[in-house]
Structure 1
Amino acid sequence: MTIAISIKVNDGIVLAADSASSMIIKNNDGSSGVINVYENGNKVANLHKDIPVGIITWGAGSIGVASTSTLIKDFRKLITEDPEHKIDPESYTVEEIAHKFFDFIYNDHYQQEFEAWESIQRPSLGFIIAGYSTGATLAEQWQIDILEGGFSHGPFISRDKEEVGATWSGAPEAISRLVLGYSENFPNVLLMSGVEPEQVGKIMRVASEVVQAPIFIPAMPIKDAIDIAHFLVDTTIKYVKYNPGPNTVGGPIEIAAITKHEGFKWITRKHYFNNDIN
């Protein structure tokens, strides 16, 4: 589990995540259990040192023996150095990078690694690739969802240039309650209460319009978007901590901001060495 958040405002995009990495054992019957939780996973990364594009990930922390963070760095090297896949910093689109990453992560790695696995055992994972295309005034974000069973959805644009707002994945319950105003399980509650299925969608649309907290404002300064991202990740960490079960969301909070002129900048991140020598 994890909490991965993207907040898009006019001034740029903020990517934030926790650092928990859970070791999960899956049984042949589809059941699973957490056997250990580490608190130093890397889920936010820069995709190219010379362009304002970053990535955030949730779900499975590895494909085979390679961690997701290592594979992201492999891709970064590929589009930086390999002549066949190299991105031109003077002429590129976020969409182009998203499709290249999908071919790399899904076709070249996920499919090959899990081809022989039973579909019920194939893990889910997802990515948001966000930033500025060449010459763009506003940022955009593209998303890739690999569902349990190995079925892929994407890359698809999840926030166009003119669209602002927040996207969160992994462990959504705390933020859904706080921002949307209702639990992720609310549609099931309606069905269990006898509400006709065709009415559930209507009720959810009305609820989202009436009770949703309007905290994501297009003109919000990037610093305020950073502060909200930290607040939402921290809230999720505490929500999971005080609920029964393992602390599958936790560890240091990592945040990066992507803006038109400053590019990808780390706001807070983990260090392997003492801060004095970083």
Structure 2
Amino acid sequence: MSMGMLLGRHVAEAGNAMAIDHDTPAWLSAFAQTSMSDTFSLGVSYDVYSSLMGAVSKGLRDFSEELKTACGVAGTVPDKFDEIVTKARDAIGSAVLDRAGTEHAQPLRRVLGVLPVDEMAELAETLINLQSLKEKVTKPSETVGGPIDVAVITKGEGMVWLKRKHFFDPGLNSRYMLRQSSLYK
């Protein structure tokens, strides 16, 4: 989603929207890096799926060459060769994603649809922590990490903070914390 200010007004492009109904009781959507939520919800991350599809394409091409050689067929590649390989690769990719949806995404959505709000927030925080750990051990630039703020938004309560970091150490600012506690009794 892109957003910014234009002539003093906040402008944002609508992102992906999903209707929640009886057939789709819940939806998991990441807003920044999606690899951990993709892996969690589909059982496979986008980078692994892309690598798999690349290997399938190469494997199909190599297989066809070996088959031609084994059958003693010589000559040029038919005009539709790339189209045939692409069609086979797409069929394999669809089968993989259909199975991932059946085995991972649909059961997850059924569970998410009945989870209490606090457990959904805990799930979101856990996915962020897992993404952070993955970045820390696999990438030189740790782009996800640090303390995490957790808030939930419900129809009845609006936005409520469950976990929020302070820009200062509350232990060193006891007067501030006492003032806050007296204000919100």
Tell me the TM-score normalized by structure 2.
0.60
Q: How many residue pairs were aligned?
A: 136
- Identity, in percent, stands at 19
3-state SS of paired residue (1:170): coil
Q: Deviations over 1:88-115 (max 9, x none)?
A: xxxxxxxxxxxxxxx7335xxxxxxxxx
Q: Deviations over 1:222-275 (max 9, x none)?
A: 111111111111111111111131111111111111122221111112222343
The one of 136, 143, 146 equivalent to 1:248 is 143
Letter of the structure 1 residue corresponding to residue 27 of structure 2 = G
Distance 2:16 2:38 in 1: 21
Report the CA distance between 1:213 and its aligned residue: 7.7
Q: How does 1:122-137 map to 2 (within 5 A)?
A: none
Distance 2:169 2:139 in 1: 34
Paired position in structure 1 for 2:183? none
Distance 1:193 1:255 in 2: 41
3-state SS of paired residue (1:214): helix
Distance 1:170 1:221 in 2: 24
**Residues 177 and 183 in structure 1, CA contact (< 8 A), matched pair in contact too:** yes
The one of the two structures with greater contact order (alpha-carbon pairs below 8 A, sep at least 6) is: 1
Distance 1:236 1:249 in 2: 7
Alignment partner of 1:183 is 2:89: no
**Residues 253 and 269 in structure 1, CA contact (< 8 A), matched pair in contact too:** yes
3-state SS of paired residue (2:29): strand
Q: Deviations over 1:64-110 (max 9, x none)?
A: xxxxxxx7xxxxxx8xxxxxxxxxxxxxxxxxxxxxxxx7335xxxx
Report the CA distance between 1:193 and its aligned residue: 1.8
Paired position in structure 2 for 1:158? 17
Sort the Cα spacing of 1:242 and 1:205 in 2 relative to 1 into closer, same or farther, 3 A. same
Letter of the structure 2 residue corresponding to residue 209 of structure 1 = T
Paired position in structure 1 for 2:126? 231
Paired position in structure 2 for 1:104? 10
Q: How does 1:73-92 map to 2 (within 5 A)?
A: none
**Residues 255 and 266 in structure 1, CA contact (< 8 A), matched pair in contact too:** yes
Alignment partner of 1:218 is 2:119: no
Distance 2:121 2:168 in 1: 25
**Residues 187 and 204 in structure 1, CA contact (< 8 A), matched pair in contact too:** no
The one of 97, 101, 108 equivalent to 1:208 is 101
Report the CA distance between 1:176 and its aligned residue: 2.3
The one of 138, 156, 168 equivalent to 1:261 is 156
Please provide the CA RMSD for this pair.
3.1
Instruction: Work out which of the two has the higher radius of gyration on C-alpha atoms and give 1 or 2.
Output: 2
**Residues 240 and 248 in structure 1, CA contact (< 8 A), matched pair in contact too:** yes
Q: Deviations over 1:136-155 (max 9, x none)?
A: xxxxxxxx4xxxxxxxxxx2
Q: How does 1:29-108 map to 2 (within 5 A)?
A: 104-105=10-11
Q: Which has the higher strand share?
A: 1
Sort the Cα spacing of 1:273 and 1:240 in 2 relative to 1 into closer, same or farther, 3 A. same
Letter of the structure 2 residue corresponding to residue 171 of structure 1 = Q
The one of 168, 175, 194 equivalent to 2:30 is 168
Paired position in structure 1 for 2:55? 192
Letter of the structure 2 residue corresponding to residue 227 of structure 1 = E
3-state SS of paired residue (1:189): helix
